[in-house]
Amino acid sequence: MADGRPSVTRMIKMLGIALVASTVLGTAAVAQREGGYQAPPTPPQVPQGKEQQQQQKASKGGATIMIGDRKVSLTPEFTKAYQDLLKSIEANETAAISGKVAAAHAAAKTPEEHYLAYQLQLKAGMAAKNEAEMGTAVAGMIGSGVAPQAQLSTLHLALGKVRYNQKQ
């Protein structure tokens, strides 16, 4: 503390924060005063997990679910594989999960079904703290083309973080 460095560093950080805050607030005030500012639209709240994928029994053993704001019908084969995988993840049966992920992808016939399989693969990867599995799952969710628009930025950010952690 004799040379004054800690207090100077703290002072610089405080000035930086003050500068950023004043710039943001000033820009918004000027834009609003000039009539050019409109509050950004708030994206609709997209429920996650079980709320997003409320399954309803459909005819012939399939299911109907909601992905974002779209209603999707699932094939009976995929529904069975999906439920088996979900049970294994919830029971934390780590030995069986990789085989059931492969079975779910094999049973998936549509991009929506692949998206759901990747979603469970992500859940399993997060539970196992497996960065490679998480990266594969997030890239698959994006690549399926089914991810709701409101989630795409979050998915891309998550993929970037995973790849950074993997040094790719």
Please tell me the predicted confidence (pLDDT) of residue 166: 84
Q: pLDDT value at position 71?
A: 87
What is the pLDDT at residue 14? 55
| Predicted TM-score of the model (pTM) | 0.63
Task: List residues bridging with 56 in a β-sheet.
Answer: 64
Contact (CB, 8 A) for 57 and 63: yes
Helix (H, G, I), strand (E, B) or coil at 71: strand
Q: Which two tokens stand for residue 2?
A: 């004799």
Rg (CA), the chain: 23
Q: Which residue has the tokens 């950004």?
A: 40
H helix intervals, the chain: 5-33, 76-90, 94-107, 111-128, 131-143, 149-165
Residue 40: its pLDDT value, please? Answer: 41
Q: What is the pLDDT of residue 165?
A: 87
- Asked if 72 contacts 66 with a C-beta cutoff of 8 angstroms, the reply is yes
Residues 6+ apart with CB under 8 A from 128: 94, 97
pLDDT by residue for the chain (168 residues), tens digit each?
A: 455 555 545 655 555 554 444 444 444 444 445 444 444 444 444 444 443 444 434 335 678 888 888 888 899 999 999 999 999 999 988 889 999 999 999 999 999 999 999 999 999 999 888 999 999 999 999 999 999 998 999 999 999 998 998 886
Query: Comparing C-alpha atoms, which of 57, 49, 52, 58 is closest to residue 70?
Result: 52
pLDDT for position 65: 84
The predicted pLDDT at position 64 comes to: 85
For position 37, what pLDDT does the model report? 41
Residues 6+ apart with CB under 8 A from 54: 65, 66
